[in-house]
Chains A and B, each alone.
Chain A
């Protein structure tokens, strides 16, 4: 006489019930691990929009910061993607960037730098950043997938106070002096205020171009302007008398070493 077995359908139902219990146990363990890990997750060095760093690059400026993420928990950060965009006050976009997604294993740390590069193309809306202060509308979106099942989208909006590095740039010409060789020398005075958060250290070359576009003299202004200070310096430029006059233009180029240069819009010869 063997021990009676429950009917097949009853056994199937019981098996499904046991599978349910296993799923419940697995989910509870998973949730406990997630809860523990989420409380261990520590993003630090998160900067507000107005605490972004700003720096000049080759024909461009870089606005950005970095986030340090420490994940000592047991669950991984599956992906972190950062999108940054900046607009002028009138809503015109001056740049945006999407960083490639990255992941962070359990018990690991990482620093995520993010930077929005604004290119000063001639005639572009961003060019005004060189000479005018702006309140840029910044948006930083961070998309995170945590422990495979949790998603978070962090949107930080704010205003970034941009100070122009060449605010109020102006050039004035002194009285021309005739030279014995037939040329003329004109003292040029270059002045501006550095409203930026970074200092300027390099040189500004001023090339005087005739109305026809031919070069007729140049001068280099050494520049060492800490952030928040003004600059005013005079240098003599020598050229043909007919060229160093009204109708000509001066092309300024700010250079910081051989790899970084910014061409400023031409100014009329005073």
Chain B
């Protein structure tokens, strides 16, 4: 996967009154380890943490309503696709991968919101149920907006492949501030 996979070049979509900038050459090989690191970090956050934290909470009488398996599954899908979309940013796969990762994150948050309550029991006769569904519904705005952005970028790539590349990977203007000659 490289920028050549996006099909047409930026020049093909340029209008007569504009000169599209050139896209920087992107070496995909450097994006792979970073993408793996992103996937590992998000996997730790959304897969391992629920898997470790929820049993820990259960030990102390805190009963979260969410199912740990569903959370871990959605979290790992999100982490994998988020890492993959970083790797695939210069390609046509970027939009679909971003769409899937955003949809997985949206599902993760909405699933959490559906059972967003924690039950605490003190000395057998005091029971506290804390609900935070509304907060998570507000939080769901984040993946909803990114899902919208992902769908838009997918359409953009389908209609005009490669047109965004000069803006996502602009050519570095090295030496723009030139030192005056001695």
B68 proximal to A (CB < 8 A): no
B155 proximal to A (CB < 8 A): yes
Task: Determine the chain A residues whose CB is within 8 A of the CB of B152 once the complex forms.
Answer: 9, 12-13, 16
B160 proximal to A (CB < 8 A): yes
A27 proximal to B (CB < 8 A): yes
Whether the Cβ atoms of A13 and B141 lie closer than 8 Å is: no
Whether the Cβ atoms of A154 and B131 lie closer than 8 Å is: no
Please report the C-alpha to C-alpha distance between residue A165 and residue B154 in the assembled complex, in whole angstroms. 79
B126 proximal to A (CB < 8 A): yes
Whether the Cβ atoms of A152 and B159 lie closer than 8 Å is: no
Known: A10-B153, A12-B152, A19-B145. A4 touches B138 (CB 8 A): no
Please report the C-alpha to C-alpha distance between residue A153 and residue B150 in the assembled complex, in whole angstroms. 39
How many chain A residues touch B (CB < 8 A): the figure is 30
Known: A24-B142, A27-B139. A154 touches B127 (CB 8 A): yes
Known: A9-B155, A16-B146. A155 touches B126 (CB 8 A): yes
Chain A nearest CB from B21 CB (Å) reads 6
Please report the C-alpha to C-alpha distance between residue A13 and residue B20 in the assembled complex, in whole angstroms. 19
Please report the C-alpha to C-alpha distance between residue A49 and residue B131 in the assembled complex, in whole angstroms. 25
Whether the Cβ atoms of A156 and B130 lie closer than 8 Å is: no
Whether the Cβ atoms of A150 and B145 lie closer than 8 Å is: no
A20 proximal to B (CB < 8 A): yes
Known: A2-B18, A4-B21, A6-B167. A150 touches B156 (CB 8 A): no
Chain B nearest CB from A170 CB (Å) reads 37
Per-residue contact bits, chain B 143-177, to A (CB 8 Å; 1 contact, 0 not): 00110111011011001100110110000000000
Q: Which of A33-50 contact B (CB under 8 A)?
A: 49
Please report the C-alpha to C-alpha distance between residue A16 and residue B127 in the assembled complex, in whole angstroms. 42
Whether the Cβ atoms of A20 and B164 lie closer than 8 Å is: no
- Identify which of B153, B159, B163 gathers the most chain A CB atoms within 10 Å of its CB: B153
Known: A148-B134, A149-B132, A155-B127. A13 touches B18 (CB 8 A): no
Whether the Cβ atoms of A23 and B142 lie closer than 8 Å is: yes
Please report the C-alpha to C-alpha distance between residue A4 and residue B167 in the assembled complex, in whole angstroms. 10
- Give me the 8 closest cross-chain CB pairs, A-B, nearest first: A9-B156, A16-B149, A151-B131, A149-B134, A149-B135, A20-B145, A13-B152, A155-B127
A/B interface sample: 23 pairs, CB < 8 A: A1-B17, A2-B18, A7-B160, A9-B152, A10-B153, A10-B164, A12-B149, A13-B153, A13-B156, A20-B142, A20-B145, A23-B142, A23-B145, A27-B139, A149-B132, A150-B130, A151-B130, A151-B134, A152-B129, A153-B128, A154-B128, A155-B127, A156-B127
